[in-house]
Structure 1
């Protein structure tokens, strides 16, 4: 009995030592857990020692399952790739295995400010129609962007004629550029003020007032060759863009003092027959009438041609011919998507199709 008591006393005397040992074990485990490298820190360290695209890709796939939604790891991966001076093809390849970057809209509007706007015979009330389309575009852009934050959404209205771009036209055009890329850290709602609405409305009316006083031919082919590329945006590792180009025109490509690009007059008989048969493009190509291709990459661009309106001399035929000319032209320039809208009797139909093009 006495030995049992002694044994019990011994155990009791050592109890504080056991508790202290357990404490040190748990404390050691705790210190190890808080000081051991996390997957994030290990991944970022490996990115720092990556020397080429393949190294970065291997790090990405190694940690992808744990860090796919880790913003810091994703940012460091994009940053490392950006530092490698990759080719455009390599950037496209990397964007294929990286999560999609945020998408911003780059909206480029090029109205035809030629004599069509004062042609009351073929295009009655054309200025009012154009202003309605432009107002619809602005409202659609605002609705598309206002609920977002930290986007690079942009809208610009430009003119095709170099003479129109000078002087007062240039001043007005400068007021028709709305770029949210510098509007960071706050809701886009704060960008779209009543003052912005008024600026847009006043500026487009001023543009058409000036154009009415001096209407010139709309040389879209020259504009695309010389200026459009400067406004297009290419996707990067950090940002994705979709270019949406809106042309407001009757569809007849006839620059001032130049032969028409959409050649119909002089070829009415074969072209009208082609409309009836359904082989318009074949006839255009056989006669060498295709609009010359412009050296521009439109593979990341969608195009809307609206307010297309047949002249009285071509009623029943010209719309299909013009549509074929434009679609063939844009397809040869690799346009991603083409929409072709004729002038509607009801503005509501035009508004819906324009809005769908911008927001979807």
Structure 2
């Protein structure tokens, strides 16, 4: 009888145990819901951070859990941008933040001087240049078209201020292609057939105008006055790679310009350094001779640390006697390396156009 009573009491308490377990689980569930998440705690700490060091400490504190959390990453970048940091401080922050989306910024600057009408030294030069430009455009399109919400940009510019006026200016305006405002939709929709035709028509018109009125190509002046405004610097929200393409025979001989805008003089005995430079090609110490004679092209105060440079269609003249190419290459390499360029590519004028096209395409895509 007592056993029956004890079993009955246990049965009566069973619902109490079940209810207790339920209440315990329910309480744990509610505590999880109301407990601040890792993200919310991190965002709250960012709100009360008012220095670069404070923000950096919050970032490293929650980095392991929130490295790929877009809200936390955006809030961190936004908080840093509100501090109005110096360029040095900004670069330091960029170094420890995850890489921002990278966009391509292509600046093409063809030499529209008399080289394009010099059929003796540069036969079919306009045809060659147009092929290079078409290849650059196609490579840019291929690089960008499968993406979305990028800030890729391509422009074709002129070096001479006189060329930039009037009709040249109008053509140059038609040769600027910026995807910054093409948001929320595929880049495929940006690159229409009409845009391709606009590019092709505009470059042909540019060369026709240059053929009628060729002028000297002062690249040193261009770098100082214009290029500096076209280069893009990395920010907390965006990364850029600048690619500068210079289409030239390699000779710097701007008309009515100071001597330091030229590579080296011809014609006047006191300015003709071929007598020392040509033997240097045979010996292999061209740069030493250039530096010893203080012939280096003066640098421009410009930051090229995030810029890759391609100099193409370099072609020595018949008077170069097989020496000028090495001399020109040394001059350009030395000039840009002293300006801390990220990468330098130097392509001579090839006999086969497809070789040039392949090299130019690789420069844009890599």
1:252 alignment counterpart: 251
| Post-superposition CA distance 1:237-271 (Å, at most 9, x none) | 11111110000000001112224511052111111
Moved more, 308-317 or 14-23: 14-23
* 1:286 Cα offset (Å): 1.6
Pairing of 1:340-359 with structure 2 (within 5 A):
340-359=346-365
Alignment match, 2:262: 261
Hey, what's the Cα distance between the residues in 2 that align with 1:4 and 1:238? 76
Residue-by-residue CA offset, 1:25-66 (whole Å, 9 max, x unaligned): 111111111221111111111111111111111111111111
TM superposition score normalised by structure 2 = 0.96
Query: Which of the residues 325, 328, 339 maps onto 1:319?
Result: 325
Query: 1:289 deviation in Å?
Result: 1.2
Partner residue, 2:160: 161
**Distance (whole Å) between structure 1 residues aligned to residue 256 and residue 314 of structure 2:** 22
Give the stretch that moved more between structures: 88-97 or 133-142.
Answer: 88-97
Partner of 2:207: 208
Is the Cα contact below 8 Å between 1:103 and 1:240 reproduced in 2?
yes
Output the CA distance in 1 between the equivalents of 2:346 and 2:13.
90
Secondary structure of 1:218's counterpart equals: coil
Aligned equivalents of 1:230 and 1:122: distance in 2? 34
Whether the aligned pair in 2 keeps the contact of 1:264 and 1:271 (CA below 8 Å) is no
- Cα distance, 1:102 vs structure 2: 1.1
The CA distance in 2 between the partners of 1:212 and 1:33, in whole Å, is 75
What root-mean-square deviation, in Å, do the aligned CA atoms of Structure 1 and Structure 2 show? 1.1
Uncovered stretches (5+) of structure 1, i.e. residues with no partner = none
**Following superposition of structure 1 onto structure 2, how do residues 206-355 of structure 1 map, counting pairs within 5 Å?**
206-258=205-257, 259=259, 261-265=262-266, 266-355=272-361
Q: Secondary structure at the match of 1:65?
A: helix
TM-score by length of 1: 0.97
| Partner Cα separation in structure 2 for residue 247 and residue 125 of structure 1 | 18
- Partners of 2:306 and 2:184 lie apart in 1 by 28
Q: 2:145 aligns to what?
A: 146
Task: List 4+ stretches of structure 1 deviating above 6 A.
Answer: none
Q: Residue by residue, what CA displacement relative to the aligned partner does 1:177-224 show, whole Å, maximum 9, x if unpaired?
A: 111111111111111111111111011011111111111001111111
